Every structure is written in C-alpha cells, then in structure tokens.
C-alpha cells in the first residue's frame, strides 16, 4: 500500500467502530433470521452504438449487473436498452453521465475540463445530466452518476459554492425522478466530497467509490477513505492503480491485483461500513486485453467475496 495516513486511519477506525455497533444492532432487530447476502459483481459498459450488443456482452462475461455509460438519450436507444436488460436478465445499477465537451484527465487540464466545476461547460453538463436522469427513469435505473470535477478544497472559494449549487440542481432533479445522484471519487479529497454532499443537502447524493481513482489522483488510501466516505458509498468501481510519480499525469491504471489498492482489506472494510451493493469492474483500455483483464478481475474478486 501507499504511505500511511495515521490521522485519517485512527479517525476512520473510530467512526467505523461506532458504525459497526449501530449496524449490528439494527440488523439484529430488523433481520434476525436472515444471513447477510454476498456482494454481486458487475462491469461498466457503454451502450453506443448498440445497447443489445453491449448488454449481451455483460451477460456473456457472466455478470448479473452493470453500470451503463449514457451518451445518446433518444427513445430508440432507450427502447433497445430496456429490451436488452430484460432479454439478458441484467440489472443496470446506475447511468453514468459525462460531457458534453472535452474532459482531460491530468492535473493541469483536468481542473479546467472535468465535471461541473468548469464554468464554460457547466450549463450544458447540467442539462445533459438531467437528460440522463429522465432516460434512466424510463429505463428503470435507480441512480445517475458522474465526476463532479476538481471541487475546491477551500469551502470559501467562489468556485466551490458554484459547484455545490450545480450539484444541488442536478440532485434535486434526480430526486424528483426518484433517483440518487452518485458523485464519483477521484479529483477531490474524501473530506472535500463529504463537505460538498452535506452542503448540497438534498438527501439523495451519495458516492460511487472508485478505489483506484483515490490512488491515481494521490488523494487517499482507499481502505482508510472508507472511514470518511462510508455512509455515502452507494456504488463501487473495482479497479486498481498506482500513485502518481510526476506532477502533471495521474498515476497509471493497472489490472486488479497489480496496483496498490488492497482489495483483500478493502472488501471487509466496505462490508463493515454497511455496503452491500455490487462491485462494478472498470478497466479503462480497449480490445482483447480489456476482456482478459475483466475476466481476471472477476476471478480475483469472486475469491474475495466467496462466490
């Protein structure tokens, strides 16, 4: 793992212990005769140009769930996706919204191009996230998610306040559609994301916990970060990566088991925090190696969750 974060770890453990006691008591009262079910696995997939091909691949790879990356929100795409999910008995757990406009994933261009932070693209991206929310509602998908961007660490920064207001506008729209909005970890520290979620205050904003992003952006040790983000984690990207070694580029994404994310420690920590939703594999390359790495990650994670 990366360098220790003693203060975060001790605080996280204190929070974790209190939460563990509360969750144990609540579970015993509400479900005294039901054993805890194991986590399911999933994979993230684009649905363009053909949702049927995309969802069939999810099924053929052996996954019961997926997150779908949504670009086009037209009725034709909607109908094909809805039919494919039913045909292949695959559950879509969230609709991922990105763009419009370029998003450059490094430390210099990223703050200017990613998520809802940049002023130049904010209005168009709010509109797109609302369109994805409507699309997801019609498709029976319970959550919308995406990167908010490099949320400023300083809550007094005008850009921080503008970003919170932008997230609030999207979250309120999702709430009216009966959905959660999930902010994906990466560009901000865990405490900054928690601060923003609380300041948004709509009650339906959670986190898609991308363990590798926390490493690749140099923001946190993922195992420790659960102590801060735990109550808000609604989705998890199963991915691996390395800490950055330069000042401009992110750390490298690598196959699960070859990076510094301690998955054998992280999964029990997620369970202890009450997380029981799927682990959604993400491998950000293309071609045959992507498929091979996804299947290897599936086998790796199945051993850890007891599949």
**Structural domain includes residue 6:** no
Domain that holds residue 297: 40-305
Number of domains comprising the chain: 1
Sign of the torsion angle spanned by Cα atoms 16, 22, 28, 34: negative
Pseudo-torsion of CA 162, 166, 171, 172, nearest 10°?
90
CB neighbours (10 Å) of residue 131? 16
The rounded Cα 159 to chain-centroid distance in angstroms is 23
**Structural domain includes residue 118:** yes
List of residues 6+ apart from 129 with CB closer than 8 A? 97, 144, 146, 170, 173
pLDDT, tens only, 249-271: 999 999 999 999 999 999 999 99
**Structural domain includes residue 18:** no
CA distance 305 to 25: 23
Q: What's the mean pLDDT in 186-199?
A: 97
**Structural domain includes residue 15:** no
pLDDT, tens only, 76-131: 999 999 999 999 999 999 999 999 999 999 999 999 999 999 999 999 999 999 99
Residue 241 near residue 212 (C-beta atoms within 8 A): yes
**Structural domain includes residue 148:** yes
Q: Taking Cα atoms as reference points, which of 184, 192, 182, 194 lies closest to residue 216? A: 184
**Structural domain includes residue 112:** yes
Q: What is the largest CA-CA distance in the chain?
A: 54
**Structural domain includes residue 226:** yes
Query: Which domain CATH number covers 289?
Result: 3.20.20.150
**Structural domain includes residue 135:** yes
CB neighbours (10 Å) of residue 130? 20
Name the pTM for this structure.
Answer: 0.86
């Amino acid at each position: 793992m990366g360098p220790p974060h003693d203060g975060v770890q001790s605080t996280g453990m204190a929070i974790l212990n209190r939460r563990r006691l509360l969750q144990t008591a609540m579970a015993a009262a509400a479900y005294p005769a039901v054993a805890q079910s194991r986590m399911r696995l999933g994979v993230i997939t684009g649905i363009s140009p053909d949702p049927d091909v995309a969802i069939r691949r999810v099924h053929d790879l052996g996954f019961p769930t997926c997150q779908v990356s949504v670009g086009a929100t037209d009725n034709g795409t909607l109908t094909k996706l809805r039919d494919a999910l039913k045909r292949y008995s695959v559950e879509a757990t969230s609709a991922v919204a990105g763009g419009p406009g370029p998003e450059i994933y490094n430390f210099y261009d990223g703050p200017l191009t990613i998520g809802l932070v940049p002023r130049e693209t904010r209005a168009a991206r709010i509109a797109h996230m609302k369109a994805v929310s409507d699309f997801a509602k019609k498709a029976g998908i319970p959550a919308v998610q995406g990167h908010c961007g490099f949320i400023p660490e300083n809550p007094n920064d005008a850009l921080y306040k503008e970003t919170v207001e932008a997230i609030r506008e999207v979250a309120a729209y999702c709430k009216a559609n009966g959905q959660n909005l999930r902010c994906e970890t990466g560009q901000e520290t865990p405490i900054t994301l928690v601060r923003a979620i609380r300041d948004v205050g709509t009650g339906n904003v959670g986190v898609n916990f991308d363990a590798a992003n926390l490493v690749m952006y140099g923001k946190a040790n993922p195992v420790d970060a659960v102590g801060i983000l735990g109550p808000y984690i609604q989705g998890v990207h199963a991915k691996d990566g390395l800490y950055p070694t330069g000042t401009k580029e992110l750390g490298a994404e690598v196959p699960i088991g070859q990076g510094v994310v301690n998955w054998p420690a992280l999964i029990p920590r997620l369970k202890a925090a009450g997380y029981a939703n799927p682990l959604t594999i993400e491998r950000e390359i293309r071609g045959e190696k992507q498929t091979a790495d996804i299947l290897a990650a599936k086998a790796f994670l199945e051993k850890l969750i007891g599949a």
